[in-house]
C-alpha cells in the first residue's frame, strides 16, 4: 500500500530505490559494507562473540546455581535460560548470516538489522509474555555487540555495488521494479539518525538518497547529506519505523516527502521529475568555467565547504575558487571503525591538510580548527549521554580546544606546517569572549615557537574568526582588532540568536534564516568588515541557498562558501544579479517586519 511520510527537504532531487534500514541501538555501532572476500571473516566474528557470550551466560548460570534457593530467584535462572535460547535461535543467527552474506553488511549492522526485524515480530505478538521477550533479545544482542567491540576489520574503501536481487526479477509488475536499472538496484538509506562518523562512511557509499527520522535543516546529518549531493529528507519522524527493509521508496528532496511502496502512476511521475532534474543539472554544468560576476561587474568568490581532503576534487570540479570552510573535525571522527588511534597525530593531520592544498591546485584553503561537541560528538558518544543537558551551549568548538591545549597545539602545528606548501587561512570557531581570543592567539604563537624550537618549517597564515554567536556579532570591533578576516556561520548564528536547536526537528519551523534579528547581525558584520577593509564571507548553509543569494549580495557580501553541489546554482543567481540595484532593496528588507515577504527588484 502506498503511503507518504513528510520531513524537511535538505538535499535536492529525486531518488528512487530499495530501502536499506540502519536501526539505532543503545550501543553505538559502525555501519559499513564489507568486501565479498571478508564475508567468512565477518561471520566468524559473530560466531566468536556468540561463543563468548554463551560461555559468559553459562558462568552466570553456574554461579546462580551455587546460591541458595533464597538468594537466587527462580526468575533469574529462567531468564538466563531464555537468553541462552535466544542467543542460539536460528531466526537471529540465520538472519545475521543473510545480511552479511547477501548484503555485505558488517557484523554489527547485520545484528542490529536482524534485531529490529525480530523485535517487530515480538511487538505484534498477542501473548504478553512473549511480547516482553523483546527486551531479552535486545540484551542478548547488546552483549554480542559489546563482545565484538575492537574486532572489526578495516573498512572497505569503496563498498561494492549490489547486484539486482532475484526477488526483484520476480516482482513482475510490482511498482518500482521497472524504474530500476536493469542490473543494479539503487539503494536508499533509512535511519533513525546517523552519526557524523556514519555519514562519512556512507559518503563513500552507493546510496542514491537517504532519510532520517530526526534532524533539522542545518543539523550536521543534513550538512553531510548535502555534501553527498544525493536527495535527502531529515526529520521524517517515524520513517524508520514505517519503512521495511527492501521496500521501494521515492525520496523527494525538493518537497521533503518520502513515498513508500509507490504505485506505477506515482512512480512514472517521479521518474519524469528525476529526468527533469538531470536536465537542469547538465544545463547548470555549462556554467562551471564561467567567472562569477554580477551584471554590474562585481566579482564574487564562490568557495567550497569540505569535510575531508578528498572532497577538494569535487570542489575544483564544481568551479570553486578555494575552500572557504574545511570542517577539520571530520578527521577526528569515526576512527575506531577504521582501527585508527583515537585522535589523529600531528603528522597525520599535516598530511591531510597538505592533501587538501594539493587537491585545490594552488587555490586557498581555509581550515577551521576542530569543532566537536553538540551534534558532532567524538567517539560517536553524545554529550547528552554524559549528562550534559545542553551540549550546544556546552564544551564545543574553541571551548573544547582551549580545554585541551595539547590537542589544540597538535592541530595548530599541523596546520602551520601545511601552510608552508600553499595558501592556508586558519579559522577559529565559536569565539565569543576577548579572553578566548587572547588565549587562542597565544596558543598559535606558542605552536609557532614549538616549531621554531624543533627547526621545522611552517608558513604564514591569515587568521580568521567565525561569527556564529550573537555576542561575537555584537562586538565586532574586538574581533576585527585581532583577526584578518571573519566568516559568518549562519547555522549556529541562527540557532543561538533564535534559541532554536538546529538539530531538533520539532522546532524546525521556527528556525528562520530570514528573521530580522538574524539578518541584522549578518548585515552589520558584512558592513563593518567592508568598512575596515577586512575579508568577510558566509559559510553557513545560507550561503548555498539560492533564496538568499541576492539579499547577501545586496548586503555587500562578495564571498560565499557552500557545498560544491550548490555552487553552480548560486553562480547562476550571481550572473543574473545587479548588485547595485540590490543594495537599496536589501536596506528595505532589513527594516521589514516580515523580510521574507519582500521580493527582489526586477532586474536586480
Ligand atoms: C555554521 O555554524 O554556520 C557553520 C558553518 O559551522 P557548523 O555548521 O560546522 O557548525
Ligand atoms: Mg558552526
**216-225, 249-258, 410-419, 515-524: range with lowest mean pLDDT:** 216-225
For residues 551 and 291, give the distance between their C-alpha atoms in angstroms, rounded to a whole number.
20
Nearest atom within ligand 1 for CA of residue 374: 10
Q: Which residues pair with 487 in a beta bridge?
A: 466, 537
DSSP 18: E
- In tens, the pLDDT along 88-126 reads 999 999 999 999 999 889 999 899 889 988 988 888 888
Residue 45 vs residue 158, higher pLDDT: 45
Residue 489 CA, ligand 2 centroid: distance in Å: 5
Backbone angles phi, psi at 310, to 5 degrees: -65, -20
Among 54-68, 90-104, 379-393, 399-413, top mean pLDDT goes to: 399-413
pLDDT (0 to 100) of residue 412: 98
Residues whose beta carbons lie less than 5 angstroms from ion ligand 2: 468, 489, 492
- In tens, the pLDDT along 435-479 reads 999 999 999 999 999 999 999 999 999 999 999 999 999 999 999
Nearest atom within ligand 1 for CA of residue 488: 3
- The average confidence (pLDDT) of the chain is 87
Burial 375-386 (b: 16+ CB within 10 A, else e): bbbbebebbeee
**127-131, 317-321, 450-454: range with lowest mean pLDDT:** 127-131
Residue 172 has pLDDT above 80, yes or no: no
Residue 487 CA, ligand 2 centroid: distance in Å: 10
**Residue 150 — very low, low, confident or very high, per pLDDT cuts 50/70/90?**
low
Among 61-65, 223-227, 251-255, 388-392, top mean pLDDT goes to: 251-255
Which DSSP string corresponds to 498-510? HT--TT-GGGGGG
Among 74-83, 385-394, 510-519, top mean pLDDT goes to: 510-519
pLDDT (0 to 100) of residue 158: 38
Whether 549 contacts 558, CB under 8 Å: no
Average pLDDT over every residue of 134-147: 87
Nearest atom within ligand 1 for CA of residue 327: 9
**Residue 25 — very low, low, confident or very high, per pLDDT cuts 50/70/90?**
low
% of the chain beyond a pLDDT of 70: 88
Residue 256 has pLDDT above 60, yes or no: yes
Q: Is 324 in the pocket of ligand 1 (CB under 6 A)?
A: no
Backbone angles phi, psi at 22, to 5 degrees: -115, 110
pLDDT (0 to 100) of residue 65: 72
Q: Is 492 in the pocket of ligand 1 (CB under 6 A)?
A: yes
pLDDT (0 to 100) of residue 64: 72
Residue with C-alpha cell 517487530? 120
Residue 379 has pLDDT above 70, yes or no: no
Q: Is 491 in the pocket of ligand 1 (CB under 6 A)?
A: yes
Helix, strand, coil proportions of the chain in percent (round to 5)? 50, 15, 35
pLDDT (0 to 100) of residue 418: 98
**Residue 409 — very low, low, confident or very high, per pLDDT cuts 50/70/90?**
very high
| Strands, sheet with 187-191, edge to edge from the N-terminal-most edge strand | 3-6, 257-260, 248-252, 14-22, 187-191, 209-212, 232-234, 8-11
Whether 470 contacts 493, CB under 8 Å: yes
pLDDT (0 to 100) of residue 421: 97
Among 73-87, 117-131, 145-159, 566-580, top mean pLDDT goes to: 566-580
pLDDT (0 to 100) of residue 453: 98
Nearest to 399, CA basis, from 373, 380, 434: 373
DSSP 71: T
pLDDT (0 to 100) of residue 224: 77
pLDDT (0 to 100) of residue 160: 41
Contact partners, residue 16, CB within 8 Å, separation at least 6: 176, 179, 180, 186, 188, 208, 248, 249, 250, 251, 267, 270, 271, 274
Average pLDDT over every residue of 520-526: 98
pLDDT (0 to 100) of residue 163: 42
Sort 603 into a burial class: Cβ within 10 Å, 0-12 / 13-18 / 19+: exposed
**Model pTM score:** 0.79
Residue 555 has pLDDT above 50, yes or no: yes
CA-nearest residue for atom 9, ligand 1, is 327
What amino acid positions are annotated as catalytic residues?
A: 220, 539
**Residue 155 — very low, low, confident or very high, per pLDDT cuts 50/70/90?**
very low
pLDDT (0 to 100) of residue 72: 58
Whether 515 contacts 596, CB under 8 Å: no
Q: Is 487 in the pocket of ligand 1 (CB under 6 A)?
A: no
State whether residue 210 is helix, strand or coil. Answer: strand
Amino acid at each position: 500500500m502506498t503511503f507518504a511520510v513528510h520531513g524537511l527537504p535538505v538535499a535536492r532531487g529525486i531518488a528512487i530505490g530499495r530501502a536499506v534500514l540502519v536501526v539505532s541501538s543503545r550501543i553505538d555501532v559502525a555501519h559499513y559494507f564489507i568486501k565479498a572476500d571478508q564475508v567468512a571473516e565477518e561471520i566468524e566474528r559473530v560466531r566468536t562473540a556468540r561463543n563468548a557470550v554463551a560461555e559468559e551466560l553459562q558462568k552466570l548460570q553456574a554461579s546462580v546455581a551455587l546460591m541458595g534457593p533464597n538468594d537466587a530467584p527462580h526468575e533469574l535462572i529462567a531468564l538466563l535460560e531464555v537468553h541462552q535460547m535466544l542467543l542460539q535461535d536460528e531466526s537471529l543467527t540465520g538472519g545475521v548470516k543473510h545480511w552479511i552474506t547477501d548484503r555485505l553488511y558488517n557484523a554489527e549492522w547485520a545484528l542490529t538489522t536482524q534485531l529490529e526485524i525480530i523485535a517487530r515480530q515480538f511487538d505484534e505478538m498477542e501473548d504478553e509474555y512473549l511480547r516482553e521477550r523483546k527486551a531479552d533479545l535486545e540484551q542478548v544482542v547488546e552483549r554480542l555487540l559489546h563482545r565484538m567491540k575492537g574486532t572489526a576489520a578495516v573498512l572497505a574503501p569503496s563498498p561494492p555495488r549490489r547486484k539486482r536481487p532475484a526477488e526483484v526479477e520476480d516482482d513482475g509488475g510490482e511498482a518500482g521494479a521497472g524504474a530500476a536499472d536493469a542490473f543494479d538496484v539503487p539503494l536508499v538509506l533509512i535511519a533513525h539518525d546517523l552519526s557524523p562518523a556514519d555519514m562519512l562512511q556512507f559518503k563513500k557509499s552507493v546510496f542514491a538518497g537517504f532519510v532520517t527520522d530526526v534532524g533539522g535543516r542545518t543539523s550536521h546529518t543534513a550538512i553531510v547529506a548535502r555534501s553527498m549531493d544525493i536527495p535527502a529528507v531529515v526529520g521524517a519522524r517515524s520513517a524508520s519505523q514505517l519503512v521495511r527493509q527492501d521496500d521501494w521508496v521515492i525520496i523527494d528532496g525538493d518537497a521533503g516527502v518520502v513515498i513508500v511502496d509507490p504505485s506505477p502512476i506515482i512512480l512514472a511521475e517521479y521518474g519524469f521529475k528525476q529526468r527533469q532534474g538531470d536536465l537542469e543539472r547538465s544545463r547548470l554544468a555549462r556554467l562551471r568555467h564561467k567567472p562569477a560576476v554580477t551584471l554590474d561587474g562585481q566579482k564574487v568568490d564562490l568557495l567550497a565547504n569540505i569535510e575531508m581532503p578528498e572532497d577538494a576534487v569535487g570542489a575544483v570540479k564544481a568551479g570553486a575558487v578555494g575552500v572557504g570552510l574545511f570542517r577539520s573535525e571530520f578527521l577526528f571522527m569515526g576512527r575506531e571503525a577504521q582501527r585508527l588511534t583515537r585522535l589523529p597525530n600531528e603528522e597525520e593531520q599535516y598530511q591531510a591538510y597538505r592533501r587538501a592544498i594539493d587537491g585545490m591546485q594552488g587555490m586557498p584553503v581555509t581550515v577551521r580548527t576542530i569543532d566537536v561537541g553538540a551534534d558532532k560528538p567524538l567517539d560517536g558518544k553524545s554529550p547528552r549521554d554524559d549528562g550534559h543537558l545542553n551540549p550546544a551551549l556546552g564544551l564545543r568548538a574553541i571551548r573544547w580546544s582551549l580545554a585541551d591545549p595539547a590537542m589544540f597545539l597538535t592541530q595548530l602545528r599541523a596546520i602551520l606546517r601545511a601552510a608552508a606548501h600553499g595558501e592556508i587561512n586558519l579559522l577559529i570557531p565559536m569565539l565569543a569572549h576577548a579572553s578566548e581570543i587572547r588565549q587562542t592567539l597565544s596558543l598559535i604563537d606558542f605552536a609557532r615557537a614549538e616549531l621554531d624550537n624543533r627547526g621545522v618549517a611552517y608558513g604564514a597564515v591569515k587568521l580568521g574568526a567565525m561569527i556564529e554567536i550573537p555576542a561575537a556579532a555584537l562586538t565586532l570591533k574586538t574581533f576585527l582588532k585581532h583577526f584578518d578576516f571573519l566568516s559568518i556561520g549562519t547555522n549556529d548564528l541562527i540557532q543561538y540568536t533564535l534559541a532554536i536547536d538546529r538539530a531538533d526537528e520539532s522546532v524546525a519551523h521556527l528556525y528562520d534564516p530570514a528573521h530580522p534579528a538574524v539578518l541584522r547581525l549578518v548585515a552589520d558584520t558584512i558592513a563593518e568588515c567592508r568598512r575596515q577593509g577586512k575579508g568577510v564571507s558566509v559559510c553557513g548553509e545560507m550561503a548555498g541557498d539560492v533564496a538568499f543569494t541576492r539579499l547577501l549580495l545586496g548586503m555587500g557580501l562578495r564571498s560565499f562558501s557552500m557545498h560544491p553541489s550548490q555552487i553552480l546554482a548560486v553562480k547562476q543567481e550571481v550572473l543574473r544579479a545587479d548588485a547595485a540595484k540590490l543594495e537599496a532593496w536589501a536596506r528595505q528588507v532589513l527594516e521589514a517586519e516580515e523580510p521574507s515577504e519582500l521580493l527582489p527588484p526586477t532586474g536586480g
